[in-house]
Amino acid sequence: MTSFEYQEALKNAAKSMVRVKNPRRLLKMIVRFINREVGLSHASILMYDQDKSQYIFVDSRGRHRIPIKLVKLDERNPLIRWFSEKGNHTGKDRLSKDYLTHEQVNLWLKNPAIMNNGHADELKEHILQLQDVMLTLKAAVCVPGYYKKELLGVLILGEKIAGGAFTPEELSFFQTLANDASMTIKNARYQEDLLAKNLLLEKKRTILQERLREIEQMRKKEQETYYQIVMSLAREVYAKDPYTSGHMEDVARLGVMTAEKLGFDLTGKKKDILVAALHLHDVGKIGIPDHVLMKPERLTDEEWKIMKEHPSRGAMILEPLTDFKRVAHIVRHHHERFDGKGYPDGLKGEEIPIEARIIAVVDAFHAIVSTRCYRRGRSVLIAFDELRANAGTQFDAEVVNAFIAAYQSSSMDQTEYKSHHDAH
């Protein structure tokens, strides 16, 4: 083949190599290509195996082909040491490492200028070992493939079937193929490494997501269990007093009705938060002693001080519920007054959460109309009058008006309040 023909062959080879992503398949393609274009007793190729730290034969073709599964070269092999950076020390620097021919090796052994230097014995021994390796592999030419300074593979080529020495064009052709192949192999390995890392990251991400889902499920289960306990505590508070057994449900019903009249956003979680706060506003009373909570007479100053702790106690009970932070905040402030004279924090006006202002009105209404052991419940109209009388001071006037309007437009008895609980 002429120089031009080799250039054309290289162009065709390069086009084919670009499309191949698998390193082994690429090397086999190169072996077939050389065997077809040049015609050798055998064409073989070594590739460095990172996992085994060995150079293994990927393919071998021709009548003298090498049994690829039986032959492996490690980094101490004379051929590998010659081409590697570690092997190319003083005394060898003047000798080519671009390729090796069997003819070159024989000439070196006969050349006094090469053999007679400070490293003659070591150099001679290495060249003799090279000669043995090349004879064993039936190698006429060995061509290394580098990526930067890393030896990735070696072409092992037998004699030309047509006979004769290899031309400079042929040796250059082999070098170009070997180095182009090494670059392609390195790029393919980068891609493989990147893919492996991405797969590992994806696997870790999947494991992490699954673990997070498990943790979230456990958290929700714990939260649900805790919520059920809190609801049981709230029911227990009202169950102690037969006069207030329906208070929780009634206050919740009246509170939602008022919120709707105010145009309050009752979509999704906002309604859940309001209803939960209406149900649980008195849960803190579970920590109030029965002799205070159930006392029919007027409370003493000391007993009233204890009773006034129930909003903050209720908030403390609810705070461990992650989704109930807002509910806890509402419960803490449902006994604040619009004029700032309430408890526990003395909040004023719109500093008080709107839900807490709604609870304050409907809770007071329910207390007025409900019968207690020490008095009968008063009429709905009297309750309305009391709410109006305290609007702007104890209560938010807008909430009072909305509550009364909602109640009057409902189907409930307009004179005597009948508990939803009693109706069932």
Per residue in 146-157, pLDDT (tens digit) is 988 889 999 999
What is the tally of helices (H) and strands (E) in the chain? 17, 6
**Strand pairing category for 100-101 and 72-74:** unpaired
Instruction: Determine the structural domain holding residue 322 and report its residue range.
Output: 219-423
Return the pLDDT at 28: 86
CA nearest neighbour of 274 among 321, 330, 318: 330
Q: What's 226's domain CATH number?
A: 1.10.3210.10
In a domain, 214, yes or no: no
Q: Is 148 helix (H, G, I), strand (E, B) or coil?
A: coil
240 & 178 share domain: no
163 & 265 share domain: no
Give the residue ranges of the chain where pLDDT is below 50. 86-90, 421-424
366 & 226 share domain: yes
Return the pLDDT at 35: 82
In a domain, 202, yes or no: no
Q: What's 103's domain CATH number?
A: 3.30.450.40
In a domain, 290, yes or no: yes
The answer to whether 108 and 102 are in contact (CB under 8 A) is: no
Structural domain count, the chain: 2
**Dist CA 32 CA 44 (whole Å):** 9
Return the pLDDT at 15: 63
Return the pLDDT at 338: 97
34 & 151 share domain: yes
56 & 167 share domain: yes
229 & 304 share domain: yes
164 & 224 share domain: no
Per residue in 184-231, pLDDT (tens digit) is 778 877 888 888 899 999 999 999 999 989 988 888 888 788 778 877
Return the pLDDT at 294: 83
Return the pLDDT at 12: 67
Which pTM was predicted?
Answer: 0.53
* Paired strand residues for 424: none
**Residue 41: Cβ-neighbour burial (10 angstroms; 0-12, 13-18, 19+):** middle
In a domain, 213, yes or no: no
Return the pLDDT at 4: 56
